[in-house]
A and B are shown apart, each in its own frame.
Chain A
Amino acid sequence: MNKPLLQLLLTRITLAAVTLFAVSIVVFAATQYLPGDPARAALGAKADPSAVEALRREFGMDRPAVVQYASWIGGALTGDFGRSIPSGRSVWEAIGPRAVNTLILTVTSLLLLIPLSFVLGIAAAIYKDRLADHLISVPTIVTVALPEFVIGTVLIVLFAVYLRWLPPVSLINDSLPLSSQTSLFILPVLTLLGTTLAQVVRMVRAVALEVLSAEYIYMVRLRGISPARVLLRHVLPNTITPTIQTIALNAAWLAGGVVVTESVFQLPGIGSALSEAVINRDMPTVLAITLIITATYVLINLVSEALILLLNPRLRVARGTT
């Protein structure tokens, strides 16, 4: 790797770290000013004030905010997010299995999203204004306008109520291995795919249309190169880079947008854990989940920027001179 590229990457990584740090402060400050007292919420409205005070002391909530933040961020950096307030269990232990569920859900969606959107988008561009284009474009335009809970509900009505192929809710049983419960993930994955696919397909189609009409594509064709090779070696590489940003945007949306989908299907994931924690004023859990989601967000953006840099031959071959 050459020097300018390395420098660019280091700058991006530093910026990502700074962003994450800033976000941690904002999130922590927000939980401090959130109305409601976690200790009172845990013990109930009629609890003895001295018991509430004891609980506050036990969780260190009587210390000044800055000290609380310092001990929290110190722990977070070493992977210790503290203990959940009502249960007293370690936050990791409580949200760990749920995080795995969410990870399966989002990563599966993403792995389907990327190849599917390139195939559909490029096909729509090649068959522009013909039947195949309409068959791809009309449904994607319709779904892009629908919120995920509508898509989820329609899928439930169709596949669970009428066809009875799949369960309407995804109540995962922690005592059974996940591999035996894969059918529970199908509808949530389809829902997430439905909300993200449209945008990426539209973008791929627009970029591919531009590439297909570029002079160099005609030149390659007029050299007698086979259509398959033109598509794979010339159209596809030039379509990927401008689309990375859109894919990253949707991947980042998946990291946060999963909250609604999980609650539609009652899937025990990180999203439903977050809403439960907010209701219980379980601040350590709220903080941990928010930080994980933001970190994912920042990481996805970092990866996409790094990819754009790495895929750009101008930077790859830059010889340190201008």
Chain B
Amino acid sequence: MTEAIPLVVQSLYMHDLNGREIVSDVSLHVKRGEVLAIIGESGSGKTSVALSLLGFARPGMRISSGKIFIGGTDILSLSGRGKRAFQGGKVSLVPQNPTTSFSPRMSVGKQMAELLAAHGHSGTGMKQLMRDALRSVDLPDDEKFLRRYPFELSGGQLQRIAIAMAFITSPQVIVMDEPTTGLDVSTQQTILELIARLVKSSSASVVYVTHDLAVVNVVADRVAVMLSGRMVEQGSRKQVFAAPSDDYTRMLLDAIPRLVTDGPAAAPEAEGAIEFQNILEVKNLRAAHGQVEVVHGVSFSVGKGECVGLVGGSGSGKTTTGRCVTGLHSNASGSLSFEGHSMPFAVSSRSKADLSAMQIVFQNPDRSLNPKESVAQSIARAVRLTGLADRARVGAEVRSLLDRVRLPQRVADLYPADLSGGERQRVAVARALAVKPKLLVCDEITSALDVSVQAAVVELLLDLKRDGLAMLFITHNLPLVSEIAQSIIIMKDGSIVEAGRTNDVLRSPNHSYTRMLLDAAPRLN
């Protein structure tokens, strides 16, 4: 039986070095030419399962029992040379982060040749294979390209090479570990199309690991859902999406942001009639990095209690615009007016009141929170900036802020490392709220989070908006912004290409780039 099916996993168990169970009793099989998507949140064990298919466990982890048959041979029973013949030869991996997955001091051509040489290729046949592989992923196949070093290529180009390398040895099983997560939305789309195309024309069994359910819809034949190391549901894509049998799967599906155009008109429509009094006005903003201008004369405004979505791909200038507004990027010209008075670009020339009235929350809470400070210390330091000095009152304020971002009081004494990504981001939001801002700039604050956590953070932002906080929400995620923003600004190459009420922009986009972004946003049906 196991010989007919290229990939069969039988009751796989994995433990960490402290004996904690990371993966329990996972069984699966993938037929020739079939794509199985494994979905789950970070920490669900999905990546551990994926890597185990290559007979590999990350340091600190071990495969304790189970069998993994690749073309009828249990890879876990192999070692040394026998195992290496399978790795890269019969089972290959497309990694999550292309920029850190290539050896930095070797040209990409040499790395491709090294792989082929390890699996018995040589001479002109090898060169021809490399050329064909590069062409199949729409990359140039000349000598000059092969001599490039990883740092000379973009993330998208490197991921194409990684994909080419995964297919080049015609393996029976290909494992893809979140291959689009590290890329921006438009690159994501083209890579996804490329994968779908290659998978269709190949007879390999593919395991595709992701936390993004919408992506699953594009590539998968069957879906397996993982939660805390267990497989809670497995079935055909249609079956899992249309009639999920497990509560957790249903919760995951509900948590996905949907474009308002997909369903009945969402909340922002109801508020559409309200006219907002402007709190922030940006006129003809130009910003440069060194000599290179990256924002070319952008004008927009944000009203009191309004949420404006600033949307664009990487390199569109959206983050730089946000940084100019908050005073973190002063190599700029144009005019900023906040609460009716004009505001200088340099953060050092702004008044204390203006500084606290405008706060920014960054994309990655791992890097914006001090790892040596407890949650309470972090928030209390911000609270004391408002002039509050009394210990008891500072403590009370910290507790009420934790309530406001819906964090349990017990986290107060914990450190960032003890918290999950979503909890950390809520601490970052609480810290920003501590100085009672009137405008909150959110720079991709949900990008690093899982869908379910993302949904909770969005809930929180909607709450804050109801309390009258104005928001500039910077993101590349169009469905997400459609859930919370009243109006949308679409940026491309440093200029605004389209702006207007969320519903108008999404239902009848005028600019081709907006339509491209809309098409690029993966959706569920």
Q: Of A222, A224, A233, A314, which one neighbours B85 at CB under 8 angstroms? A: A224
Q: Of A214, A223, A237, A311, which one neighbours B114 at CB under 8 angstroms? A: A223
Interfacial chain B residues near A317, Cβ < 8 Å = 149, 152
CA distance A58 to B305 in the complex (A): 93
Q: Which residue of B lies closest to A215 (CB)?
A: B100
Interfacial chain B residues near A217, Cβ < 8 Å = 103
Q: How far in angstroms is the closest Cβ of chain A from B113?
A: 11
Cβ–Cβ contact A213 & B84, under 8 A: no
Cβ–Cβ contact A216 & B152, under 8 A: no
Q: Is A221 an interface residue (CB 8 A)?
A: yes
The number of A-B residue pairs with CB atoms under 8 Å apart is 74
CA distance A226 to B104 in the complex (A): 18
CA distance A233 to B114 in the complex (A): 10
Cβ–Cβ contact B56 & A226, under 8 A: no
Cβ–Cβ contact B101 & A224, under 8 A: no
Q: Of B97, B105, B118, B151, which one neighbours A223 at CB under 8 angstroms? A: B118
Interfacial chain B residues near A237, Cβ < 8 Å = 105-106
Q: Of B87, B105, B149, which one neighbours A224 at CB under 8 angstroms? A: B87
Q: Is B102 an interface residue (CB 8 A)?
A: yes
Q: Of B88, B102, B114, B152, which one neighbours A222 at CB under 8 angstroms? A: B88
Q: Which residue of A lies closest to B55 (CB)?
A: A222
**Secondary structure at chain A's binding surface: helix, strand, loop or mixed?**
helix
Cβ–Cβ contact B100 & A214, under 8 A: yes
Interfacial chain B residues near A233, Cβ < 8 Å = 103, 106, 114
Cβ–Cβ contact A313 & B118, under 8 A: no
Q: Is A225 an interface residue (CB 8 A)?
A: yes
Known contacts A215-B97, A216-B100, A313-B149; A222 and B54 CB within 8 A of each other: yes
Interfacial chain B residues near A290, Cβ < 8 Å = none
Interfacial chain A residues near B303, Cβ < 8 Å = none
Cβ–Cβ contact A220 & B103, under 8 A: yes
Q: Is B95 an interface residue (CB 8 A)?
A: yes
Cβ–Cβ contact B105 & A213, under 8 A: no
Q: Is A101 an interface residue (CB 8 A)?
A: no
Q: How far in angstroms is the closest Cβ of chain B from A125?
A: 13
Q: Which residue of A lies closest to B94 (CB)?
A: A219
Interfacial chain A residues near B114, Cβ < 8 Å = 220, 223, 225, 229, 233
Q: How far in angstroms is the closest Cβ of chain B from A281?
A: 53
Interfacial chain A residues near B51, Cβ < 8 Å = 222
CA distance A218 to B87 in the complex (A): 11
Tell me which residues from 109 to 136 in chain B have a Cβ below 8 Å from any Cβ of chain A.
111, 114-115, 118-119
Q: How far in angstroms is the closest Cβ of chain B from A310?
A: 12
Q: Is A56 an interface residue (CB 8 A)?
A: no
Cβ–Cβ contact A224 & B119, under 8 A: yes
CA distance A219 to B112 in the complex (A): 12
Q: How far in angstroms is the closest Cβ of chain B from A253?
A: 28
Known contacts A313-B151, A317-B152; A225 and B102 CB within 8 A of each other: no
CA distance A215 to B182 in the complex (A): 14
Tell me which residues from 401 to 430 in chain B have a Cβ below 8 Å from any Cβ of chain A.
none
CA distance A237 to B152 in the complex (A): 19
Cβ–Cβ contact B59 & A222, under 8 A: no
Cβ–Cβ contact B103 & A234, under 8 A: yes
Known contacts A224-B84, A224-B85; A314 and B118 CB within 8 A of each other: no
Taken residue by residue from 308 to 322, chain A's Cβ proximity to chain B (1 for < 8 Å, 0 otherwise) reads as 000101100100000
Q: Is A296 an interface residue (CB 8 A)?
A: no
Q: Is A31 an interface residue (CB 8 A)?
A: no
Q: Is B167 an interface residue (CB 8 A)?
A: no
Q: Is B93 an interface residue (CB 8 A)?
A: yes
Cβ–Cβ contact A225 & B115, under 8 A: yes
Q: Which residue of A lies closest to B149 (CB)?
A: A313
CA distance A218 to B59 in the complex (A): 10
Q: How far in angstroms is the closest Cβ of chain A from B10?
A: 22
Q: Is A238 an interface residue (CB 8 A)?
A: yes
Q: How far in angstroms is the closest Cβ of chain A from B151?
A: 6
CA distance A314 to B153 in the complex (A): 12
Interfacial chain A residues near B56, Cβ < 8 Å = 218, 221-222
Interfacial chain A residues near B92, Cβ < 8 Å = 222-223
Interfacial chain B residues near A234, Cβ < 8 Å = 103, 106
CA distance A214 to B99 in the complex (A): 12
Tell me which residues from 26 to 58 in chain B have a Cβ below 8 Å from any Cβ of chain A.
51, 54, 56, 58
Interfacial chain A residues near B54, Cβ < 8 Å = 222
Tell me which residues from 458 to 479 in chain B have a Cβ below 8 Å from any Cβ of chain A.
none
CA distance A215 to B102 in the complex (A): 8
Known contacts A218-B56, A233-B106, A234-B106; A223 and B87 CB within 8 A of each other: yes
Tell me which residues from 235 to 284 in chain A have a Cβ below 8 Å from any Cβ of chain B.
237-238
Q: Which residue of B lies closest to A217 (CB)?
A: B103
Tell me which residues from 78 to 97 in chain B have a Cβ below 8 Å from any Cβ of chain A.
84-89, 92-93, 95, 97
CA distance A220 to B114 in the complex (A): 9
CA distance A226 to B83 in the complex (A): 11
Cβ–Cβ contact B88 & A215, under 8 A: no
Interfacial chain A residues near B100, Cβ < 8 Å = 214-216
Cβ–Cβ contact B118 & A238, under 8 A: no
Interfacial chain B residues near A311, Cβ < 8 Å = 105
Taken residue by residue from 189 to 232, chain A's Cβ proximity to chain B (1 for < 8 Å, 0 otherwise) reads as 00000000000000000000000011111111111111001000
Interfacial chain B residues near A314, Cβ < 8 Å = 149, 151
CA distance A61 to B328 in the complex (A): 63
CA distance A225 to B84 in the complex (A): 7
Cβ–Cβ contact B151 & A224, under 8 A: no
Cβ–Cβ contact A216 & B59, under 8 A: no
Interfacial chain A residues near B95, Cβ < 8 Å = 215, 219
Cβ–Cβ contact B93 & A219, under 8 A: yes
Q: Is B165 an interface residue (CB 8 A)?
A: yes
Cβ–Cβ contact B151 & A226, under 8 A: no
Q: Which residue of B lies closest to A213 (CB)?
A: B59
Q: How far in angstroms is the closest Cβ of chain A from B76?
A: 15
**Which of B54, B87, B105, B119 has the most C-beta atoms of chain A within 10 angstroms of its own C-beta?**
B105
Cβ–Cβ contact B106 & A224, under 8 A: no
CA distance A225 to B106 in the complex (A): 14
Q: How far in angstroms is the closest Cβ of chain B from A151?
A: 36
CA distance A196 to B231 in the complex (A): 55
Cβ–Cβ contact B118 & A215, under 8 A: no
CA distance A217 to B59 in the complex (A): 13
5 A-B pairs closest in CB distance: A223-B88, A224-B88, A224-B84, A224-B87, A215-B100
Beyond A222-B87, A314-B149, list 7 extra A-B contacts (CB 8 Å).
Answer: A216-B101, A220-B111, A224-B84, A224-B85, A225-B114, A238-B105, A313-B149
A interface, CB within 8 angstroms of B? 213-226, 229, 233-234, 237-238, 311, 313-314, 317
B interface, CB within 8 angstroms of A? 51, 54, 56, 58-59, 84-89, 92-93, 95, 97, 100-106, 111, 114-115, 118-119, 149, 151-152, 165
Pick 29 A–B contacts, CB within 8 A, sort by A: A214-B100, A215-B97, A216-B101, A216-B102, A217-B103, A219-B101, A220-B103, A221-B56, A221-B87, A222-B56, A222-B92, A222-B93, A223-B92, A223-B118, A224-B84, A224-B86, A224-B87, A224-B88, A224-B115, A225-B84, A225-B88, A225-B114, A226-B118, A233-B103, A233-B106, A237-B106, A238-B104, A313-B105, A313-B151
